[in-house]
């Protein structure tokens, strides 16, 4: 029999590295690098798209959040009255009127009270902070640490005073710089503010069309795709819709529950600015794990200055709220829909915050959930392809 002609890909080392797959992988990496290099040179062509994205992103995100919050009410109304009996446009308009009435009522009843508490807290917080520093100094003077610091020739009183003075000066300089920047760049500030206001004005119109025809969008996208791809893409889109819906609706409900429990707890223990601190806890709880830590910081300062016993009561309230939220509220409202490990959530929040700021912190988790759905589905397709070519049942993946 004629001997097979040896070639580069027949060698043991190349076959160990992957054979022809190695060559294809290297070519793919080279082409990817070439595409990135070319894009870097001609990225100015895409500048109009960048501007369009920056203009659309804010009203688009707000409209999507409103869509997932209001969609259950529209489905409930259509289910109760019978789909088609009452036009969807009329249902949306009635829902708009109810939401506008609720926002007006909350603004008239709650906003003035919270505004007054916020202004008082801003004025008195430096006093609370200075009292906290004095309490720390008094504690150190009456403790055994005083002798240790004396032996080490460490003047902690001076250090704390310098830190406090530097902090005060930094805050004053920051406000002065902001004031000068606003004064010097008043035109840019007005332009930015006008753009934000225009974006907010467009939100109700975008939201209306999302509520009216949003459920037709997946069908429209599937009709564009080739028939062989429609089943797989349809499953991915359905799972992505479920993930985003579960996160937005669940996180809003969880935040409201946390804010209500914190407010009730603060009122019971007699903490100053209870309603404002509870409202702050509700707002920041939209960001998992990191938000509650931010919300409790001013409450700790106020509790320490009030009395050590108040701090103990605050810790008890905080612990009870976290246990109730972690064991009962979140599992029952959000369930296991996201299935994201807490460490992963923290890393995603830190990374998205560093890359995109506040928007990244807010949108990082749902963005990660969508990416996880896509990657998981692609991985499933790879496993199915492997199983199709694998002859031994022992070596097959479990789908």
Which pLDDT does position 156 carry in this prediction?
54
Q: How far is CA 282 from CA 198, 275, 295, 312, in A?
A: 27, 10, 8, 22
Which has the minimum average pLDDT: 34-38, 218-222, 316-320, 381-385?
381-385
Would the pLDDT of 100 be above 50? yes
Task: Give the number of residues written for the chain.
Answer: 399
Would the pLDDT of 6 be above 60? no
Judge whether 370 and 243 are in contact, CB under 8 Å: yes
- The number of helix segments (H) and strand segments (E) in the chain equals 16, 0
List the chain domain ranges: 1-41, 55-109+186-224
Residue 341 burial (C-beta neighbours within 10 Å; 0-12, 13-18, 19+): exposed
For the chain, give the mean pLDDT.
76
Which pLDDT does position 264 carry in this prediction?
92
Arithmetic mean of pLDDT, 62-87: 80
Q: How far is CA 276 from CA 106, 119, 129, 283, in A?
A: 14, 11, 18, 11
Top-confidence residue, 357 or 176: 357
Judge whether 159 and 314 are in contact, CB under 8 Å: no
Instruction: Report the predicted TM-score, pTM, of the whole model to 2 decimal places.
Output: 0.70
Judge whether 351 and 363 are in contact, CB under 8 Å: no
Arithmetic mean of pLDDT, 204-223: 85
pLDDT tens digit sequence for 285-314:
887 777 777 888 888 888 887 777 888 888
Distance between CA 345 and CA 146 in Å, rounded?
A: 41
Which has the minimum average pLDDT: 3-7, 78-82, 124-128, 298-302?
3-7
Most confident range, picked from 24-28, 167-171, 192-196? 24-28
Distance between CA 203 and CA 113 in Å, rounded?
A: 28
Would the pLDDT of 366 be above 80? yes
Which pLDDT does position 302 carry in this prediction?
82
Judge whether 322 and 292 are in contact, CB under 8 Å: yes
Distance between CA 223 and CA 237 in Å, rounded?
A: 13
Distance between CA 289 and CA 283 in Å, rounded?
A: 13
Top-confidence residue, 5 or 359: 359
Which pLDDT does position 158 carry in this prediction?
59
Would the pLDDT of 184 be above 60? no
Would the pLDDT of 191 be above 60? no
Would the pLDDT of 137 be above 50? yes
The tokens describing 103, both together, are 């926002």
The string of DSSP letters for 77-129 reads HHHHH-BTTB-HHHHHHHHHHHHHHHHHHHHHHTHHHHHHHHHHHHHHHHHHH
**In 3-state terms, what secondary structure has residue 18?**
coil
pLDDT band at 197 (very low <50, low <70, confident <90, very high): confident
Which pLDDT does position 387 carry in this prediction?
67
Which pLDDT does position 271 carry in this prediction?
86
Distance between CA 48 and CA 41 in Å, rounded?
A: 16
Distance between CA 65 and CA 94 in Å, rounded?
A: 19
pLDDT band at 27 (very low <50, low <70, confident <90, very high): confident
Q: What is the CA radius of gyration of the chain?
A: 29
């Amino acid at each position: 029999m004629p001997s097979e002609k040896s070639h580069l890909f027949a060698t043991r080392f190349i076959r160990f590295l992957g054979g022809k797959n190695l060559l294809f992988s290297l070519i793919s990496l080279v082409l990817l690098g070439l595409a990135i290099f070319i894009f870097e040179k001609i990225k100015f062509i895409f500048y109009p798209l960048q501007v369009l994205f920056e203009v659309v992103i804010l009203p688009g995100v707000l409209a999507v959040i409103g869509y997932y919050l209001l969609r259950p009410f529209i489905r409930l109304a259509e289910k109760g009255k019978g789909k088609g009996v009452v036009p969807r446009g009329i249902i949306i308009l009635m829902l708009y009127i109810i939401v506008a009435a609720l926002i007006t009522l909350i603004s008239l009843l709650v906003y003035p009270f919270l505004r007054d508490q916020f202004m008082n807290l801003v004025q008195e917080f430096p006093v609370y902070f200075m009292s906290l520093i004095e309490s720390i100094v008094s504690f150190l003077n009456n403790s055994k640490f005083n002798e240790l610091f004396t032996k080490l020739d460490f003047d902690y009183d001076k250090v704390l005073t310098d830190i406090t003075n530097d902090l005060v000066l930094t805050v004053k300089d920051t406000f002065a710089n902001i004031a000068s920047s606003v004064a010097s760049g008043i035109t840019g500030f007005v332009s930015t503010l006008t753009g934000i206001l225009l974006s907010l004005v467009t939100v109700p119109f975008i939201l209306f069309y999302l509520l009216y025809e949003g459920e037709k969008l997946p069908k429209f996208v599937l009709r564009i795709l080739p028939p062989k791809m429609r089943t797989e893409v349809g499953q991915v889109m359905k799972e992505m819709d479920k993930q985003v819906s579960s996160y937005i609706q669940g996180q809003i409900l969880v935040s409201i529950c946390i804010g209500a429990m914190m407010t009730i707890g603060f009122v019971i223990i007699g903490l100053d600015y209870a309603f404002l601190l509870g409202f702050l806890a509700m707002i920041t709880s939209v960001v998992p794990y990191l938000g509650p830590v931010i919300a409790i910081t001013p409450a700790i300062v106020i509790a320490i200055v009030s009395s050590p016993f108040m701090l103990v009561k605050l810790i008890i309230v905080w612990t009870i709220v976290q246990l109730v939220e972690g064991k009962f509220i979140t599992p029952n409202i959000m369930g296991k829909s996201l299935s994201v490990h807490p460490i992963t959530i923290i890393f995603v929040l830190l990374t998205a915050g560093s890359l995109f700021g506040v928007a990244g912190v807010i949108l990082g988790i749902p963005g990660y959930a969508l990416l996880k759905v896509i990657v998981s589905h692609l991985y499933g397709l790879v496993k199915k392809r492997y199983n199709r070519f694998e002859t031994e049942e022992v070596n097959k993946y479990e789908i």
